[in-house]
Amino acid sequence: AMPDGNAEAGQTKAFSCQFCHGTNGVAVKDGYPHMNGQNALYLYKAMKAYQNDERLGDYGKMMKQQLSALNDQDLADIAEYYAKQP
């Protein structure tokens, strides 16, 4: 199950996400998902899917690499942060 996420901690941990997803979750490029206001549990499950090889293809590989150093608490914090962005 998803740990309790902390949005403040998530903002710091989401540093490398901003280059595609924006600092506020509004994607910087066509074709990338917006994450602001998204459901936090969904975001967490999507990131776990990348870690668990359930999302394949080029973006799957890239995202798995991006998330490789993050633990479940990190993912929950990041998910909470983006979910809380307007």
Say how many residues touch its own copies, by CB under 8 A: 22
- Binding its own copies (rule: CB under 8 A), the pick from 32, 62, 65, 71 is 32
Nearest in space to 47 (alpha carbons), one of 66, 20, 21: 66
Contact stretch for its own copies (CB under 8 A) within 6-14, 29-37, 64-72, 73-81 = 29-37
Reported for 71-74, long-range contacts at CB under 8 A and 24+ positions apart, including other chains, are 72/2, 72/3, 72/48, 73/3, 74/13
Question: Which residue, 12 or 39, is less far from its own copies as judged by CB?
Answer: 39
Question: Which residue, 34 or 84, is less far from its own copies as judged by CB?
Answer: 34
